[in-house]
A and B are shown apart, each in its own frame.
Chain A
C-alpha cells in the first residue's frame, strides 16, 4: 500500500497537470536526463513525468544523474524502483558520456544550501562550474539534443534593493565578486555565461531558468530558510522565531508549479532566453509566520529574534514573472496558503515514517479537509 505522503504528491501532480498535459506532449516517448536528479528539483520533475507516464501513457524515460543517487531509495522508493527511471550514480563533474538516445537535458546539479556555501565555497564553485562545463561538453556530442535547460538561480542578480518590488530577468544588480559569500551566486552566473558560450560556439539549444524560493514536499525543514524553520517550529509546538524585525520580504512557489514551469520552459522556452521561476507574491516574514501559526491548533507564539533597532538588515527576494506568464502562459495553481497547508501535512506524514516531530504529530491536527 502506498504511503499517504506519496498519495499527496500524486494528487499535487494531478491537480497541476489538469489542463497542461497536451502542452507537455513533446515529451512523449522521449529520453530526459536530469543532473542533480535526486535533489528537490529533480525529485519533483520525476514525480510529474512519471505521473504523465502512468496516467497519460507518455512513455518518457528518465535518467537521474546524481553523486548520491542511492539516497533516492530511502527518500522516494516509489520513484527509485520504477522501470522508466534509471539512476546514474555519478558526479556531474565526471559526466563525460550521455546515452545517445537522450534528447532533453535538465541541468539541476548544485546544492542551494547556504551552510555548504559558507563552509565549502571552493567546492560549491567547483561543482557548479566544472559540472556545467562537463555536462555541456557531453551534451555537445549528442546526436539529437533538442533542448538543454540550465537551472541557474535567482541569486545571480545579487541582493535585491528593498525598494525594488521584484526582479526582472533583465535586471543584473550586482554581486561583490571578491566576497566568499558570493561563491554560489557567482558560480551560477558563470554557469549562465558558459551556457551562452556553448549556445553560441556549439549551437546548443540552451535555455535558462532562475528559480527563486519554494516550499513543499521533498524540502528538508532543517534547511536554514525562514519558511522551513517556521514550519518546523510549528510542528515542534512553537514558538515560531523570526530573525530581525519581521519585515524582510520573500515569496514562495509550491514545487508542483515549479516542476510544471520547468518542463514547459524546457519544451517551449526560447533558446537563449532566461525565465524566472517563482511566485511574484511577496510576503513579509511576520505575515508568513502568522499564516503558518494559524495552521496549528496551539496557535504558536511568534517571537521576533532581537528587539534591536539596528544590526538587522531587511532584505527582499521576489521575482518578476511577466516573461514566463506572457510568453508561455504559465501561472500559479497553488497559492501560498495552500502551499503551507500541503507542506505541513506532507511533513506530518513524513514524520510518521521517520519519527521526527512525532510528539507533536500525535497531538496536533490541522485544517485538513
Chain B
C-alpha cells in the first residue's frame, strides 16, 4: 500500500483565518490532539511563516519563539514543522533560534519562479542536520516545465522533497495531475502538494496529486486556513485510506482532533465565500481576502473587481500593499461598488 506523508499546517495556515491571533492554549490543545492522532508533521507559526509578523502582513498575537516552544512541549511523536520564506526569516535571527527550540522540519518557500532565493536557507538547514523541503508557492502561475526547473534548483541546494502550493486555490484536478506527474518524473526526490479550496477542489485536487505520484499532502483540520481554507484533513485521511493509501494516522483520533479544532480554534468553519471563488478564479493568494474586503470597503469599490485586477497584475504574497493601489485606482476611475 503506497504511503502518503501528511503534513498538517492547521496551526500555521489557519492563523491566516484569524489574523494570526492563535493563542497559547489553542496551539497547545490542537498540537496535543494532532500528536495523539499520529499526524507525521505539525506545522505552526504566523500564517506567512517564520519572522513574518509585521504591520504589512499582519502582526501575530504571539512571537515565533513562544509559538514554537508551546508546540514543541505538546508534540511527542509528531515532528514540529515550520514554514520559512527568505525575506521574512533570516538565518541568524530566526532559523538558528528555531533549531535551538527543536524544529524538526523546515519548509523553505519561494514564489514559484524564484527558487534561487532559497539556496542559503536550505543549505544552512541541511548543514545543521534538520529535515528541509522546498516549497514553490502560487504554483499555478508557472508551467510544469518551469516548476520542474525551479524544483531542481531546490533539489540541488539540498531539499529532500518539493511541495507545490496551490496558494490561490486556482487549480482543477487536470492541472494538478499534469504538474505533479511531470515533477515526479523530472526529480529524484518526493513531491508534495498543498491545496486551497477556493473552487471547492481541494480534496479532488489532493487526490489527483496522490494518483499522479505525490508522496506528501498537506491538509488542515476542518480546512482551517487562508481564504476558503485548505484541504480538509480528516476527510483527506478518510478518502486516502478508502483508496488504498496509507497515512499512518488514526482515523478516530484525527476526527477527534478536528472537533478540537472546530471548538477551540475557529469562530466559523471555513466556507467558500463569494470573494474566495473570485480570488480562485483570479489566481490571487487566498490570504489577500481579508485585506481586500477591508480595503475595498474603505474605498467603496467592489472587492471582486479588486481581485480580478490583482490577478491581472499577477500579484504574489508580500505584495499586499498593491491592494490599496488597485482600490484607489478603481475608485478614481469611478468604478465604485454598485
Contacts and interface: CB of A to CB of B under 8 A. Distances in A.
A298 to B, nearest CB: 13
Contacts of A241: 129, 131
A306 B158 contact: no
Contact of B153 (A119, A310, A313): A119
Interface stretch (A6-14, A51-59, A231-239, A324-332): A231-239
Contacts of A229: 126, 158
A115 interface: yes
A232 B127 contact: yes
Given A306-B5, A311-B189, A118 B156 contact: yes
Given A241-B129, A243-B189, A310-B2, A305 B156 contact: no
A238 B186 CA distance: 31
Contact of A307 (B3, B123, B127, B129): B3
Nearest to B191: A311
A305 B160 contact: yes
Contacts of A181: 149, 152, 186
B184 interface: yes
Nearest to A307: B3
B129 A311 contact: no
A363 interface: no
A312 interface: yes
Contacts of B2: 309-310
Contacts of B191: 311
B161 A306 contact: yes
Contacts of A233: 129
B156 A224 contact: yes
Classify chain B: how many residues form its interface, as a range: 20 to 34
A180 B149 contact: yes
B116 interface: yes
B215 A313 contact: no
B25 interface: no
Given A306-B161, A311-B189, A313-B188, A236 B129 contact: yes
Nearest to A180: B149
Contact of B5 (A236, A243, A308, A313): A308
B213 interface: yes
B157 A115 contact: yes
Interface in A212-261: 222, 224, 229, 232-233, 236, 238-239, 241, 243-244
A114 interface: yes
B241 to A, nearest CB: 16
B190 A306 contact: yes
Contact of B215 (A224, A239, A243, A308): A308
B119 interface: yes
Nearest to A243: B160
B184 A180 contact: no
Given A243-B189, A311-B184, A313-B188, A306 B215 contact: yes
A348 to B, nearest CB: 17
Contacts of A307: 3
Interface string B120-152: 000100111101000000000000000001001
Contact of A118 (B123, B153, B190, B216): B153
A316 interface: no
Nearest first, the 4 A-B pairs at minimum CB distance are A311-B190, A311-B215, A118-B156, A118-B153
Given A222-B123, A310-B3, 4 more contacts: A239-B129, A305-B160, A308-B3, A310-B215
Interface of B: 2-3, 5, 116, 119, 123, 126-129, 131, 149, 152-153, 155-158, 160-161, 184, 186, 188-191, 213-216
10 contacts: A115-B123, A118-B152, A224-B157, A224-B158, A306-B5, A306-B190, A310-B190, A311-B190, A311-B191, A313-B188
